[in-house]
Amino acid sequence: MFRNFVGRAGMPVPQDFTQDFTQDFTQDFTQDFAQDFTQDFAQDFTQDFAQDFTQDFVLLGF
């Protein structure tokens, strides 16, 4: 889609650019997103769950 858009504007896009861009973007995005999401989710979920569970447990008088 990106390649077609730029190509239609009269500027041919080198195949190397398209390949490099796609690879780099995919790799960076996947790694960063997966890492950040996993860390944040695990951290938040664990903390919140532990906190809520403990509070509820204590409130119920167990």
The answer to the question of residue 5 being in a domain is no
The answer to the question of residue 1 being in a domain is no
pLDDT digits (tens, 9 = 90+) for 25-57: 888 888 888 888 888 888 888 888 888 888 888
Among candidate residues 37, 36, 2, the one with its CA nearest the CA of residue 18: 2
The answer to the question of residue 8 being in a domain is no
Comparing 5-14, 21-30, 53-62, the range with the smallest average pLDDT is 5-14
pTM of the model: 0.33
Comparing 13 with 43, which gets the higher pLDDT?
43
The answer to the question of residue 9 being in a domain is no
Among candidate residues 36, 55, 32, 34, the one with its CA nearest the CA of residue 44: 36
